[in-house]
Amino acid sequence: MDLLAAYGWTSYCAQQTPTQDPDGSIPARIVSEQRGLYQALTAQGELTVELSGRLRHEALSPQELPAVGDWVALRLAPDNQFGLILQVMPRKSRISRGAPGRTAQEQILAANVDTAFVVTTADKDFNPRRLERYLAVIWDGAARPVILINKIDLCADSAGLLAQAGLAFPGVDIHPISALQGQGLGPLSAYLKPERTCVMLGSSGVGKSTLLNRIIGKDVARLGAVRQADQRGRHTTTSRQMFILPSGGLLIDTPGLRELRLGKADDGLRRAFADIGSLSQRCRFRDCRHIDEPGCAVLAALQNGTLARSHYDNYLKLQKEQDYQRRREDPALEAQNKKRWKSIHKTMRSFDKLTRGEE
Ligand SMILES: Nc1nc2c(ncn2[C@@H]2O[C@H](COP(=O)(O)OP(=O)(O)OP(=O)(O)O)[C@@H](O)[C@H]2O)c(=O)[nH]1
Ligand SMILES: [Mg+2]
Ligand SMILES: [Zn+2]
User: 187 CB contacts (<8 Å, ≥6 apart)?
Assistant: 175
pLDDT at 20 over 60: no
Query: From the CA of 278, how far away is ligand 3's center (Å)?
Result: 10
Window from 121-130, 161-170, 347-356 with minimum mean pLDDT: 347-356
For residue 224, what pLDDT is reported?
Answer: 59
User: Same domain, yes or no, for 107 and 217?
Assistant: yes
Q: What CATH number is given to the structural domain containing 309?
A: 1.10.40.50
Backbone angles phi, psi at 138, to 5 degrees: -70, -45
Pocket of ligand 1 (CB under 6 A): 150-151, 153-154, 178-180, 204-210, 223-226, 233, 235-237, 255-256
pLDDT at 19 over 80: no
pTM: 0.85
pLDDT at 16 over 60: no
| Selection from 199, 207, 193 nearest residue 245 by Cα | 193
Nearest CA to ligand 1 atom 1: 151
Alpha-carbon gap, residue 359 to 356, rounded angstroms: 6
Query: From the CA of 292, how far away is ligand 2's center (Å)?
Result: 44
Q: Which residues surround ligand 3, an ion (CB under 5 A)?
A: 283, 288, 290, 296, 298
Contact criterion met (CB below 8 Å) for 32 and 241: yes
DSSP secondary structure letter of residue 178: B
For residue 358, what pLDDT is reported?
Answer: 39
Residue from 175, 210, 230 whose mutation best tests the ligand 1 pocket (most atoms within 8 A of CB): 210
Domain's final residue, options 90, 110, 130: 90
Query: Which ligand 1 atom sits nearest the alpha carbon of residue 254?
Result: 25
Structural element, H or E, at residue 17: none
Name the closest ligand to CA 152: 1
Helix H segments across the chain? 2-6, 9-13, 53-58, 128-140, 158-168, 208-216, 266-272, 274-280, 297-303, 309-327, 331-358
| 258 occurs within a structural domain | no
User: Same domain, yes or no, for 33 and 182?
Assistant: no
What average pLDDT is seen over the chain?
84
For residue 206, what pLDDT is reported?
Answer: 95
User: Same domain, yes or no, for 107 and 76?
Assistant: no
Name the closest ligand to CA 158: 1
Nearest CA to ligand 1 atom 6: 207
| Selection from 116, 140, 173, 106 nearest residue 272 by Cα | 140
Query: From the CA of 234, how far away is ligand 1's center (Å)?
Result: 10
| 100 occurs within a structural domain | yes
Alpha-carbon gap, residue 285 to 194, rounded angstroms: 49
Alpha-carbon gap, residue 203 to 235, rounded angstroms: 9
For residue 72, what pLDDT is reported?
Answer: 93
| 340 occurs within a structural domain | no
359 or 141: which carries more pLDDT confidence?
141
The mean per-residue pLDDT over the stretch 91-115 comes to 86
Helix H segments across 19-104? 53-58
User: Same domain, yes or no, for 137 and 249?
Assistant: yes
- Structurally, how many domains does the chain consist of? 3
| pLDDT tens-digit map of 72-82 | 999 988 887 88
pLDDT at 215 over 90: yes
Window from 163-167, 229-233, 322-326 with minimum mean pLDDT: 229-233
| pLDDT tens-digit map of 248-283 | 999 999 999 888 888 878 889 999 999 999 999 999
Contact criterion met (CB below 8 Å) for 147 and 174: yes
Contact criterion met (CB below 8 Å) for 27 and 70: no
Domain of residue 215, residue span: 95-253
Alpha-carbon gap, residue 317 to 208, rounded angstroms: 28
Backbone angles phi, psi at 344, to 5 degrees: -65, -40
Domain's final residue, options 90, 111, 134: 90
For residue 135, what pLDDT is reported?
Answer: 95
Alpha-carbon gap, residue 6 to 12, rounded angstroms: 11
Query: From the CA of 290, how far away is ligand 3's center (Å)?
Result: 4
Residue from 188, 219, 223 whose mutation best tests the ligand 1 pocket (most atoms within 8 A of CB): 223
For residue 105, what pLDDT is reported?
Answer: 76
| 174 occurs within a structural domain | yes
Contact criterion met (CB below 8 Å) for 344 and 87: yes
Domain's final residue, options 90, 115, 142: 90
Backbone angles phi, psi at 226, to 5 degrees: -75, 130
| 333 occurs within a structural domain | no
User: Same domain, yes or no, for 285 and 165?
Assistant: no
User: Same domain, yes or no, for 173 and 245?
Assistant: yes
Alpha-carbon gap, residue 166 to 159, rounded angstroms: 10
Window from 45-59, 118-132, 254-268 with minimum mean pLDDT: 254-268
3-state DSSP of 235-265:
CCCCCCEEEECCCCCEEEECCCCCCCCCCCC
Query: From the CA of 293, how far away is ligand 3's center (Å)?
Result: 6
Query: From the CA of 282, how far away is ligand 3's center (Å)?
Result: 8
Alpha-carbon gap, residue 101 to 104, rounded angstroms: 8
User: Same domain, yes or no, for 231 and 314?
Assistant: no
pLDDT at 17 over 50: no
| 331 occurs within a structural domain | no
User: Same domain, yes or no, for 237 and 287?
Assistant: no
Name the closest ligand to CA 297: 3
Alpha-carbon gap, residue 206 to 122, rounded angstroms: 9
